[in-house]
């Protein structure tokens, strides 16, 4: 049986799309569902294009019920991938999927992480501090923003004339290249539950 992936996303979903593309004709894994807290998120259209079912939820359902946990268990999900998902993961989900929830951060953690550090804010902070390199961090999710164990990092040099858009572009290239492959490696290591 194929390993099953659930993707959580809040926005446009370019990483989600790369994951959907990567696993579309994969022999051992598939994207089973996309979940979002944003009914306007473009990622819903991306999932629809791949004929992947989606589920939209609100804060009450996410934080005060077991609906999401039950949905993922019923779908026999093996791994949960955060792809631009902005809410902290609740305890019931962390307990139900220990070391099976993965996030990608567009900077080299532990720098430039934590609550409110997402999107352009991260890249601007990297620029403002005069860093010579940046990159991506793929990590396990725990009950704190961006503090889970690091799984993989990839870096790029920041040239002196790089602006916010260039840093964002370089980072996104690394995200799209590495995130699906790291997910694949993690799934290979997982024993069948």
| Residue 123 annotated among the catalytic residues of the structure | no
Catalytic residue among 55, 60, 105, 176: 105
What are 177-182's contacts with CB under 8 Å, separation 24+? 178/136, 178/138, 178/152, 178/154, 179/15, 179/18, 179/19, 179/81, 179/83, 179/104, 179/136, 179/138, 180/18, 180/19, 180/21, 180/22, 180/23, 181/22, 182/102, 182/138, 182/151, 182/152
State residue 109 phi and psi, 5-degree precision: -70, 150
The backbone region for 51, taken as left when phi is positive above 0, alpha when psi lies in -120 to 50, beta otherwise, is left
Q: Which residues are catalytic?
A: 105
């Amino acid at each position: 049986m194929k390993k099953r992936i659930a993707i959580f996303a809040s926005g446009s979903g370019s990483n989600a799309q790369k994951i959907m593309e990567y696993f579309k004709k994969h022999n051992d894994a598939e994207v089973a569902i996309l979940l979002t807290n944003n009914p306007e998120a473009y990622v819903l259209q991306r999932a629809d294009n791949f004929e992947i079912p989606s589920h939209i939820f609100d804060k009450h359902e996410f934080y005060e019920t077991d609906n999401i946990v039950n949905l993922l268990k019923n779908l026999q999900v093996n791994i949960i991938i955060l792809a631009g998902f902005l809410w902290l993961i609740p305890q019931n989900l962390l307990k139900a999927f220990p070391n099976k929830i993965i996030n990608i951060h567009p900077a080299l953690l532990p720098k430039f992480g934590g609550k409110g550090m997402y999107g352009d804010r991260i890249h601007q902070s990297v620029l403002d501090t005069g860093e010579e390199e940046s990159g991506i961090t793929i990590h396990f999710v725990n009950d704190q923003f961006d503090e889970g164990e690091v799984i993989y990092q990839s870096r790029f040099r920041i040239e002196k004339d790089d602006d916010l858009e260039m840093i964002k572009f370089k980072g996104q290239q690394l995200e799209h290249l590495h995130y699906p492959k790291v997910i694949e490696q993690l799934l290979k290591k997982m024993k069948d539950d």
